[in-house]
Structure 1
Amino acid sequence: MKSSTLLGLAATIFATSALAAPTARAASSYPTTNGLKFTIDGTSKYFAGTNSYWIGFLTNDADVDTSLDQIKASGLKILRVWGFNDVNTEPTDGTVWFQSFVTGKDPVINTGFDGLQRLDYVVKAAESRGIKLIINFVNNWTDYGGMAAYMNYYGGSENPEWYNNTSIQTQYKKYIKTVVSRYSNSSAVFAWELANEPRCNGCETSVIYDWASSTSKYIKELDPNHMVTLGDEGFGLTGGDGSYPYTYGEGVDFEKNLKIETLDFGTLHLYPSSWSQSNEPFGSEWIQAHGKACAAANKPCLLEEYGVSSDKCNVEGKWQTVALNASGIAADLFWDFGTTLSSGQTSDDGNTIFYNSTQWTCLVEDHQTNIG
């Protein structure tokens, strides 16, 4: 999700020690695909979940526990989180950061108490509750650094330079290796995700295709047991209405990328207003068109983000029903999870669904009933 309003949350209690590494498990205990479905803990069905980009940046363990307890109690099984937090100036106030690119210094991957140890806690807490995490490695947008943080350090200002810069890709893979090696044995990992909404405006689709092929292959070599996905919005698709999201101008070819052997499933996002489209019929047609492409590729697909700022129950509720009944769509994750923690209410970008709200009833509780 692109939003300049996404703000990190600050609390006052800090983790002071690294957590023990997860114990090794049989490959059969990890989430996987089963035809056009996902299998989690031995069950193949349609799953519901949500996004919480901010949970790995919390400094209060109790707030992480509260969030995950609420998610578990609601039956949400998959949680997508940011596994990145890149900065160009190292914070001095205790703010959580995972990787720094400071001019004149070597890049630093922060494995300390205000670094990846915060993500450690999320992974262990999710593991104990049976919640499965999608962990993302970089942002297309500037929130929490993203690709721009790399380019500010190594040079470049446009996305094509990020995908094609050898130094950038070397450091990106170094970061991936650091994160994957920490959790490669964890049953909490649902999938590794290459990037949040990768785009390459005006590029040939081969740029993202080649990058996704090589990066997903690299991750599979590090961790053959967990799934890998791209994290794209689903742009570039034949058979649609020809509007902007269906075109290839952002350098993404959804159907072509689905064929990458080392990507286990496809992703799509849905924000009609951001793309100058109507909620309907565009929304339902977008889901159905992607489900058809996923079924043709014999890979499940995940409606990974979706949201509207008003009439949420009617609009998003319909999308949930369409997704649940569309062959090829195996799960959906609404954007995004909101609650009240020790530091106050979590951020609200207009799409947020808050725990125990009216929208929570219709889009979480009623959706779970419909899934069965």
Structure 2
Amino acid sequence: MTALPGTTEPAPRPSRRALLGAATASLALATVPALGTPAAADTADRGEDRGQRRGGRGFVTSRGGELRLDGEPFRFAGTNCYYLHQRSHYMIDAVLDDAAAMGLSVVRAWAFADGTGESALQPRPYSYNEAAFDSLDYAVHKAGRLGLRLVLPLVNNWPDYGGMQAYVKWFLNLPDDSYGDGTNHDRFYTEPAIKSCFKAYARTVTQRRNPYTGLRYCDDPTIMTFELANEPRCRSDKSGATLLGWAREMSTHLKALAPRQLVAVGDEGFYGQAGHADYPYSDYEGVLWKKLVALPAVDYGTVHVYPQNWGETSGSKPGTDATAWGTRWIGDHLADGRALGKPVVVEEFGLQVDAAKDIPDAAARDRAYTAWTDAVLAGGGAGDQFWILTSRVDDGSFYPDYDGHRIMWNNDPSNPSRAAAQLFSAHAKAMTAAR
């Protein structure tokens, strides 16, 4: 980790990234069992087209500072599940069935896997693995049958599933240890050959015809949003100009490829204020949230909330409370979104039970989650998506809690996230009623 400006403290980076690295490494080596075929999909869903019972199936649009569906305001509660694009149909069914049972409306799932391994979607530049796309194809189909919407980022800032680093290695042939200060990583945003390759991948995904639905991805309203990236930042240019220029170019490109879907950047909401002592408000990561949201081809602003990982706790800063800080962070973005005339989605948020970081037990975590979701509801936020919903794996056990943020939907009294899952379910009903 790199030290924050003027300190000897390491720059905050979501600790779940490192923890997830072990999981994604094993995914890269694993085969993807196809527990179903397009012809068998109706059997897997028991012939139930729950999507028809959960509301209209038109495209979600952005207008007048709010999301809309079939002419009405669309507000939602949702979640994230990063592994759908590389797992079996059984595991995809398990997570998405749970999301639907909770009353959630939107699931954010990765649509990238760049680099080596037979499950990579893009194993080499301009080379796309048809067999590996099966899981993503099936996830889109399954979500549609359940009436869920999907948000699909197209590349990762982090090296999990290859990410921007994979593109840089492909075209610049740099060693793995040369990415620490961000300079080489950030060439992803400026090298013409890399930008051309990413544009081609975006075209491949958006124009892909799903064998389970018969629709191209860009024609399927199940896909609510295509995102430029997961948590992009450009540490080598504190002004924010490099990332802003790339986002302008790529959002315009993506909107042309998929004009009926929403486009979002997928960033964390860093404000980019020079000289600000508070890391997420500072210019350390080279992100200018308000200018990114204001781009013409960007339909809504995205916000992530990880006060523990960003040093916003009493353990790191005496007098700082993680729950209160997160509530203020959400409120600031909702207010700024209104001023910009764009909807705002708190698309990732999470806390770990850690007494040294203001959250001594699950009850304290759940109080924070209640405060944050209440802030979105009362503040007019378009939606929120907790990190992370997981469910059963192929042997019937539950997906491991790699990063301390796991939420599971089951009534087993031993489930430590049972209460949190129930509060998210209740919040989903409140968001739907508030439309």
Fold in common (TM above 0.5): yes
**Paired amino acid for 2:324:** P
Deviations along 1:31-66, one digit per CA (max 9) or x if unpaired, are 11243332245542421000000011112x232222
Tell me: CA distance 1:78–1:28, structure 2 relative to 1, closer, same or farther (3 Å).
closer
- Residue number in structure 2 paired with 1:171: 197
Match of 1:24 in 2: none
CA-to-aligned-CA distance 1:68-119 (integer Å, 9 cap, x gap): 11111211001000000112x334xxxx221113xxxx5521122xx11221
Determine which structure has the larger strand proportion and give its number: 1
Q: Is the 8 A contact 2:275 2:283 kept in 1?
A: no
Is 1:268 matched with 2:285?
no
Cross-structure match for 2:33? 13
- Compared with structure 1, are the counterparts of its residues 237 and 286 closer, same or farther at alpha carbon in structure 2 (3 Å cutoff)? farther
Aligned ranges 1:347-358 → 2 under 5 Å: 347-348=400-401, 349-356=403-410, 357-358=417-418
Report matched runs for 1:153-172 at 5 Å. 153-155=170-172, 156=174, 157=179, 158-172=184-198
Question: What residue in structure 1 maps to residue 62 of structure 2?
Answer: 33
User: Which residue does the alignment assign to 1:138?
Assistant: 155
Pairwise CA distance, 1:362: 4.0
Match of 1:193 among 227, 230, 242: 227
User: 2:427 aligns to what?
Assistant: 367
Query: Partner residue of 2:123?
Result: 100
The number of equivalent residue pairs is 353
Return the offset for 1:336: 0.5
| Partner Cα separation in structure 2 for residue 285 and residue 354 of structure 1 | 27
Out of 378, 386, 390, the position equivalent to 1:325 is 378
The change in CA–CA distance for 1:206 and 1:184 in structure 2 (over 3 A counts) is same
**What pairs up with 1:23-102 in 2 under 5 angstroms?**
29-40=58-69, 43-59=72-88, 61-87=89-115, 89-91=116-118, 96-101=119-124
% identity of equivalent residues: 32
What letter is aligned with 2:129? N
CA distance in 1, matches of 2:334, 2:82: 26
Output the TM-score relative to the length of structure 1. Answer: 0.88
| Contact 1:230–1:266 (Cα < 8 Å) also in 2 | yes
Q: 2-side partners of 1:121 and 1:314: how far apart?
A: 36
Measured at CA, do residues 347 and 171 of structure 1 come closer, stay the same or move farther in structure 2, by a change above 3 Å?
A: farther
Separation in 1, partners of 2:114, 2:32: 21
TM-score under structure 2 normalisation? Answer: 0.76
Question: Which residue of structure 1 lines up, in the alignment, with residue 288 of structure 2?
Answer: 253
Q: Is the 8 A contact 2:273 2:283 kept in 1?
A: no
Larger Rg: 2
Which residue identity is paired with 1:248? D
- AA partner of residue 223 (structure 2): V
Does the CA contact (< 8 Å) of 1:34 and 1:44 recur in 2?
no
In the alignment, what sits opposite 2:218? Answer: 184
Deviation readout 1:325-356 (Å, 9 max, x if unpaired): 114x2100000002123243223210111112
> Given residue 334 of structure 2, which amino acid in structure 1 is its aligned partner?
G
Question: Does the 8 A contact of 1:237 with 1:255 survive in 2?
Answer: no
Gaps of 5+ in 1: 21-26
Asked if the contact 1:19–1:121 (Cα under 8 Å) also holds between the matched residues in 2, the reply is no
Alignment RMSD: 2.5
The 1:260/1:216 distance shift into structure 2, 3 A limit, reads same
Provide closer, same or farther for how the CA distance between residues 90 and 18 of structure 1 changes in structure 2, counting only shifts above 3 A.
farther
